[in-house]
Structures are given as structure tokens and as C-alpha cells.
Amino acid sequence: MLDLRWPIGLMFTLIGALLVIYGAATGANTEMYQHSLGKNINLIWGVVLLIFGVLMLLGAIRGKKTPPSA
């Protein structure tokens, strides 16, 4: 049976990593973040999504080690 934490964790980790990379690359561009009160939203939400994705993957790994109870 497929554990849904694997695809969810992979998706959020991948999207989070892309946002972190994009936010870090465009961090010096102050005009781009003028609409968000000067905050690097891409970097902030990238870190949030990355943490969530890693937690899902860790939960999937941890859940795999315990045998299912019948």
C-alpha cells in the first residue's frame, strides 16, 4: 500500500527547494519585492515548504520501519 507521505513530501521538498534557490538568487532585487513590503516572500515560503516536505519524508521513513499491526 502506498504511503501518501512519500509523494507529498517529495513534491513539497522539490517546490520548497526551487523557491529557496529563486529567493536567494533574487534577494538583492529590491524592486521585485516592493509589493510585499520589501520581504523576500519566495525565500520565506520556500523555507516553510522545504521544512514541511522534509517532515513528511521523515514521517514516511519512520512509518516504514514500524511493522503494521493487524
Q: pLDDT tens digit string along 12-69? A: 999 999 999 999 999 888 888 888 888 999 999 999 999 999 999 999 999 877 566 6
CB atoms under 10 Å from CB of 7, counted, come to: 12
Rounded Cα distance, 54 and 32, in Å: 28
pLDDT tier for residue 70 given thresholds of 50, 70 and 90:
low
pLDDT of residue 20: 96
Confidence (pTM): 0.83
Q: What is the pLDDT of residues 8-23, one digit of tens each?
A: 999 999 999 999 999 9
Burial of residue 56, with CB atoms counted within 10 A of its CB: 0-12 exposed, 13-18 middle, 19 or more buried: buried
CA distance 54 to 7: 11
